[in-house]
Amino acid sequence: MKFPFTRKALIPAVVSAMLLPMSLSAVAGDHPQHHGSWQEKRTELFDRADIDVDQREQLDQARTEYQQALEELSADYAQQRQDILGEDGIAALKQAIHDIREERITTLMDEWQLSDEDRASLQQTREDFRSNMKSLADQQFDSDEDRHQAWKELHTNTHDSLAEVLSEEQIQELTHALMPRGPRFGGDHDMNEADPSS
């Protein structure tokens, strides 16, 4: 893929961020859930490592540029996929992924010999999760910490609902069965989501 100059200029930031140790990158706050209490842990880590204010600012800037570059690359890929497959191809691909996912679920429920009532309960849990997930995605939060807490509560509640029907081992097996296999298609949350409730 050929990038315009401005896009090329972002690539060094991507490479630099990827070279950071994974644990350091996580503590530095690559994801919203690392704010709040994670900010305190990050500060403690940087204090222990004698990382000065200027270095911390440079790390923050590198992370910001890295995230921006990823967003642009993701948008490029989404457009390429759209150009290659078209609307019908994208729809067919999503449907195929959905069908495979449902077949995996049915196979597991058959193996576990779940009753019709338990199957219906699992289906309701999945539907509730999708509905609540969409609501959270559309919701405005006062802070990243509030957003993280809301998502954490959703996953906890979903897990609790699954646990009313399945054992922990079965929940893990279900999660594994629904994880994307092969190349990830990127750009579509429902095509990449590996949560057992999806």
Q: Which of 53-57, 90-94, 174-178 has the least mean pLDDT?
A: 174-178
* pLDDT at 95 (0 to 100): 93
- 68 contact partners, CB below 8 Å, separation of at least 6: 10, 13
Summarize the confidence of residues 62-70 as an average pLDDT: 92
Is it the case that residue 130 has pLDDT exceeding 60? Answer: yes
List all residues 6 or more positions away from 16 whose beta carbon is below 8 Å from its beta carbon.
Answer: 62, 66
Retrieve residue 177's tokens: 């069965």
What's the pLDDT tens digit per position in 74-121? 999 999 999 999 999 999 999 998 899 889 889 999 999 999 999 999
Highest mean pLDDT among 29-38, 151-160, 176-185: 151-160
Q: How far apart are CA 27 and CA 35, in angstroms?
A: 9
Q: Please report, for residues 65, 87, 129, 197, the alpha-carbon distance to residue 141 in angstroms, rounded to integers and kept in the order given.
A: 24, 33, 19, 24
| pLDDT of 136 above 50 | yes
Tell me the CA distances in angstroms from 190 to 17, 148, 195, one per residue in order: 27, 20, 10
pLDDT tens per residue, range 23-45: 444 444 444 444 456 778 888 88
8 Å CB contact between 159 and 47: no
Please state the rounded mean pLDDT for residues 175-184: 62
Distances (CA, A) of 127 to 131, 143, 169, 188: 6, 27, 22, 18
pLDDT value of residue 120: 93
Which CB contacts under 8 angstroms, 24+ apart, belong to 136-143? 143/35, 143/36
Rounded-to-integer distance, Cα 198 and Cα 192, Å: 10
